[in-house]
Amino acid sequence: MKLPTLACFVLAGLQAIAQEIPAVAGWQIGLPTPGTHRAGVDIHAPHSGKGCGKIVGTASEKSARGCFIQEFYKKTAIKPGRAYRYAISYRTAPQMEGKAAFLIDCYTAEGEKSHKSLISERLPAGAEWKTVSGEVSIPEKVVRVRMLLYLHGKGTAWFDDAFFGYTTDGAPNLLKNGGLEPPGSYALDLAPENGTGRVKLSADFENGTLGKVKEIAPNEFYVYASAPDKPRSPFLWFHFRVEGCEGREITFHVNPTPFARDNTGGNGTRSPVMSHDGDQWAGIESKSWNDDGTVLTFKHRFERSPAWVASFYPFTADHISRFIAKHKSNPHFSPRVLGKTKQGRDLRAYTITDAAVPEADKRVIMFTALQHDLETTGAMAQEGICRFLLSNDPRAAKLRRAFVFHVVPQMNPDGIAAGNMYCPVGNLNRQWGLDTTAETTAVEQFARELAARGRKIELFMDFHGWCTPERATILMTYGKEITDEATERDALRLVEKIKPKLNGKVSTTLWRKRIQTVTGITSDVSRLASGWMKFEAGARLACSIEIFGEGTCTQDQYFAWGRAFAEGMAEYFGF
Ligand SMILES: [Zn+2]
């Protein structure tokens, strides 16, 4: 009798899961205690509309909890210093150990330390829908207001018809998707498994990221970009291997939750790309988003197996290993290890120079890339420079005789290995000179050793960038107010040699003060790689570079961009 009972139980479980969709447009799902709670849309018996929010908790230890969060902040910020009306409908499992709660809180521009709770209401358990409503006064100077729907501990809570708006009758709901309606992806969430199992998707390799996988028809997959209970990149990122795909046209429906078409964090316009070897990547052109931008569908006919699919051109440690292996026998190329990352990975570098010329007769040029791990356009451009420097071009030969090039192709191997986590040790490009990260410290040590041997850095470039048609490529360097006349003049002359060789919009920024706000963070420029090299390691010229590709830029175009940098440098140095 045991087997049928178990089968029944499993089937019932599957049906329960099939009614739940682990995403809800407009709301963030907060699961601060991984594995204890799950949250999503339930299409069974909502208060109104097609769905409602549901949180299920299976543990109560150590303040286990899950929640829905919606905030009014930045673009969606609301006017402070006035009253608003709020409402929420909810029900819970008839009896439960856990507790549902409703919160509204706020912050001023001072951030975390200004956190203030405005409404904090325990919601008594009950199987019938109840509505809680009232008015809340948002204090002056508040820049961020959040509504949170919580379940603490074991149990189940449903939420529906959330409202936040002006107190006047008929005022519109300022919440996005206050009804917690299911996203356009829900038909796929409800679709039954119906595959052959011949094609396998996996992400059990460094930089690989993939959430739940469901084969909904032979050669047709519905996948989540990330798993809800695992750390994920703050950008849309997926990267998986496809096996058994030879000769098959496979359709992928990717649910990028918590991201969407209009919110990818970067690189969204190029997505996705595929490769058969992990090095040569090509864009997949047959793609489209569904109506509400919650599912990216694409298909590809694979000539060989295995293949890799990613949301943008990856730049992995394996790729660097293959680049080193390819150039190992080139007499002008020597790889080295500068140190270990926090997690013990090698922090690798290459030296490119003509060894026949004594070191004392050459100056130093140094490059870094991938402090920010998703910014692979900068890494590709930097590889393009290296490819040129290792080529037979007569200008490359002259550059190799005049300079020793030191290249750190991947400043952040740990973040990249974990699936582009955007600096697990905090923003590397704000920690130079602080001795707070193993990665920056290792490169600083290397630069100090160069200086100790009298090898001054003539030029330093730090590469960043991602793919978006909305931004221009930017070359950032330091003005005469914080350097001197000759440095500014030479920096601009170098930039003017490079700029005409680059495609698309290119602009120059001169930082004229030591304290700068760079991509939203205000600090001394010496905490940036280029500023540290300039002001603390004595580099003569130092630039930060953001490479922004157009929407359809190919991998080869990024390499060509690097070549353009190298040719501009050759021209600047008179070759
Ligand atoms: Zn960056």
CB within 8 Å of 428: residues ≥ 6 apart: 371, 372, 411, 412, 437, 439, 440, 529
Q: Are 131 and 88 in contact (CB under 8 A)?
A: yes
Distance (Å) from CA 548 to ligand 1 centroid? 11
Distance (Å) from CA 464 to ligand 1 centroid? 5
pLDDT for 130 beyond 50: yes
Distance (Å) from CA 332 to ligand 1 centroid? 29
Q: Which token pair is 476? A: 């950032």
Q: Which token pair is 337? A: 């290890």
Distance (Å) from CA 247 to ligand 1 centroid? 39
- Determine which of 21-35, 292-306, 347-361, 497-511 has the lowest per-residue pLDDT on average: 21-35
Distance (Å) from CA 399 to ligand 1 centroid? 27
Distance (Å) from CA 563 to ligand 1 centroid? 21
Q: Which residue has the higher pLDDT, 186 or 414?
A: 414
Q: Which residue has the higher pLDDT, 523 or 102?
A: 102
Phi-psi region of 288 (alpha: psi -120 to 50; beta: other; left: phi over 0): beta
Helix, strand or coil for residue 213? strand
Distance (Å) from CA 371 to ligand 1 centroid? 7
Q: What residues pack around ion ligand 1 (CB closer than 5 A)?
A: 372, 375, 464
Distance (Å) from CA 233 to ligand 1 centroid? 14
Distance (Å) from CA 6 to ligand 1 centroid? 52
Distance (Å) from CA 402 to ligand 1 centroid? 30
Distance (Å) from CA 64 to ligand 1 centroid? 35
What number is the average pLDDT over the span 202-222?
97
Which residue type is seen at 94? P
Distance (Å) from CA 431 to ligand 1 centroid? 13
Distance (Å) from CA 150 to ligand 1 centroid? 35
What number is the average pLDDT over the span 492-521?
90
Distance (Å) from CA 412 to ligand 1 centroid? 11
pLDDT for 466 beyond 90: no
> What pLDDT sits at residue 19?
66
Q: Are 84 and 167 in contact (CB under 8 A)?
A: yes
Distance (Å) from CA 184 to ligand 1 centroid? 33
Distance (Å) from CA 374 to ligand 1 centroid? 8
Distance (Å) from CA 368 to ligand 1 centroid? 11
Tell me the pLDDT tens digit for each residue of 221-277.
999 999 877 888 988 999 999 999 999 999 999 999 889 998 887 777 788 999 999
Omega within 30 of 0 (cis) for the link into 272: yes
Distance (Å) from CA 428 to ligand 1 centroid? 9
Q: Are 204 and 6 in contact (CB under 8 A)?
A: no
Distance (Å) from CA 394 to ligand 1 centroid? 33
pLDDT for 26 beyond 60: yes
> What pLDDT sits at residue 490?
97
Tell me the pLDDT tens digit for each residue of 51-75.
999 999 999 988 999 999 999 999 9
Distance (Å) from CA 85 to ligand 1 centroid? 41
What number is the average pLDDT over the span 345-370?
97
> What pLDDT sits at residue 274?
97
Distance (Å) from CA 307 to ligand 1 centroid? 29
Q: How far is CA 283 from CA 269, 271, 422, in A?
A: 11, 7, 23
Distance (Å) from CA 260 to ligand 1 centroid? 22
Distance (Å) from CA 296 to ligand 1 centroid? 26
pLDDT for 564 beyond 70: yes
Q: Which residue has the higher pLDDT, 8 or 341?
A: 341
Domains in the chain (CATH in brackets) are: 21-165 (2.60.120.260), 186-310 (2.60.40.3120), 317-572 (3.40.630.10)
Closest by CA to 256, choosing from 217, 208, 210, 316, is: 210
> What pLDDT sits at residue 14?
37
Distance (Å) from CA 239 to ligand 1 centroid? 20
Of the chain, the end-to-end C-alpha distance in Å amounts to 85
Residue 198 — pLDDT band, cuts 50, 70, 90? Answer: very high
> What pLDDT sits at residue 162?
98
Mean of the per-residue pLDDT values of the chain: 92
Q: What are phi and psi of 228, to 5 degrees?
A: -65, -25
Distance (Å) from CA 126 to ligand 1 centroid? 49
Closest by CA to 549, choosing from 511, 515, 505, 496, is: 505
Distance (Å) from CA 123 to ligand 1 centroid? 44
pLDDT for 6 beyond 60: no
Q: Are 27 and 55 in contact (CB under 8 A)?
A: no
Distance (Å) from CA 335 to ligand 1 centroid? 24
Distance (Å) from CA 422 to ligand 1 centroid? 9
Distance (Å) from CA 101 to ligand 1 centroid? 39
pLDDT for 430 beyond 50: yes
Q: Are 293 and 260 in contact (CB under 8 A)?
A: yes
CA separation for the pair 332, 41 (Å, rounded)? 59
Distance (Å) from CA 309 to ligand 1 centroid? 23
Using CA atoms in the order 35, 150, 209, 471, what is the torsion angle rounded to 10 degrees?
Answer: -160
What number is the average pLDDT over the span 462-485?
90
Angle between helices 555-572 and 485-498 (to 10 degrees): 140
Distance (Å) from CA 345 to ligand 1 centroid? 21
Q: What are phi and psi of 119, to 5 degrees?
A: -130, 130
Helix, strand or coil for residue 255? strand
Distance (Å) from CA 255 to ligand 1 centroid? 26
Burial, 484: exposed, middle or buried (Cβ in 10 Å; 0-12, 13-18, 19+)?
Answer: exposed
pLDDT for 145 beyond 90: yes
Distance (Å) from CA 493 to ligand 1 centroid? 24
Across 166-177, b (16+ Cβ under 10 Å) vs e yields: eeeeeeeebbeb
Distance (Å) from CA 518 to ligand 1 centroid? 10
CA separation for the pair 124, 329 (Å, rounded)? 72
